[in-house]
Amino acid sequence: MTHFLKRKPLLFAALAVAAIIVAAVLVFRPAPAGAQSFETYVFTANAWGPEQDAAVAAAGGNVTFSHRKSGIGIASSASPDFLSLAMASGAFKTGAQDMMVGWQPPTREGGMIEAAVTPGDETFVNLMWNIQAVEAAGAWAAGYTGNGVRVAVIDGGIYDTHIDLAGRVDTAASKSFVPGQPFNNDTGTFWHATHVAGIIAAKDNGIGTIGIAPEATIIGVKVLHAGSGSFGAVISGILYASTPISEGGAGADIINMSLGAAFNRGAEIPEPVCWSLP
């Protein structure tokens, strides 16, 4: 039998998993007060440093996120001339206004047929086809539980005190890139990020469900709110999650992004936005 779980650095998640390791120097700065009413922009340069910071400031903007080695930066400004002034500085290769995108469709909640619930150590374990499909029980028996593995869930808000997640979420490293929203907040009663985090690492506590890697550590990286978010937030979340803790990042071994978007045929997405996505 092939085991799909490794202590480090491989972890199998039931949803799409992207492993991204980036050794880089990261700088995170809080957005200015009222930034949600400002326009947001994505810039690229050969590398991000003081020259780029100065160019943004001189054009009337504020750098909200930058990543030195990738040369990617996110800035906000209320000035209608900000982009043209910033590009005229010669400090950037490309620059464009950010875009808000609906990355996740609206969810529909449905009830569970009570007769289908089979008792077991975890209340719903016998309904979890993913556990059976990857023969997770055999991996657990061999000691592959995800212990020591850090998984960043780049998504919406995570309910970190949920009974199946409490103690599994690294709240110190978790971060939100949605202005005015903490990493552990979202809308409605179904939080997609919480669902994903549970699939990955719900605890073995005899209640509810169990994750594929029940001893893994989850890092909540909020880039969406109510299913929508900007390219800039997603880019920032990826770079933050994949940067080592020693360099100011989250130190994730694995990144999980269960999101996608549909665009009309012929829709124009600014080149800097496309280029910046890993």
262 and 227 within one domain:
yes
pTM above 0.85, yes or no: no
With contact defined as beta carbons under 8 Å apart, do 174 and 190 qualify? Answer: no
Q: Write down the pLDDT at residue 118.
A: 30
Dihedral of alpha carbons 223, 89, 270, 26, sign = negative
CATH number of the domain residue 134 falls in: 3.40.50.200
222 and 137 within one domain:
yes
228 and 158 within one domain:
yes
171 and 74 within one domain:
no
Q: Is residue 7 part of a domain?
A: no
108 and 74 within one domain:
no
Q: Is residue 6 part of a domain?
A: no
**Beta strand spans in 78-185 (E):** 94-97, 100-102, 150-155, 175-176
108 and 94 within one domain:
no
Q: Write down the pLDDT at residue 2.
A: 35
Among the candidates 54, 78, 98, a domain finishes at 98
Q: Is residue 11 part of a domain?
A: no
**Tens-digit pLDDT string for the chain (278 aa):** 333 333 333 333 333 333 333 333 344 444 444 444 789 999 999 999 999 999 999 999 999 999 999 999 999 999 999 999 999 999 999 999 998 887 666 555 544 444 332 334 677 777 788 888 998 888 888 889 999 999 999 999 999 999 999 999 999 999 999 999 999 999 987 799 999 999 999 998 888 889 999 999 999 999 999 888 998 999 999 999 999 999 999 999 999 998 876 666 666 666 666 655 55
182 and 74 within one domain:
no
CA–CA gap between residue 95 and residue 88 (Å, rounded)? 11
Q: Is residue 39 part of a domain?
A: yes
Residues facing 94 on adjacent strands: 44
Among the candidates 57, 73, 98, a domain finishes at 98
Among the candidates 67, 98, 129, a domain finishes at 98
| Number of structural domains found in the chain | 2
161 and 203 within one domain:
yes
Q: Is residue 258 part of a domain?
A: yes
**Residue 238 is part of which domain span?**
17-21+104-276
What residues contact 54, with CB distance under 8 A and at least 6 apart?
91
CATH number of the domain residue 55 falls in: 3.30.70
**The token pair that represents 278 in the structure block:** 């890993």
Q: Is residue 187 part of a domain?
A: yes
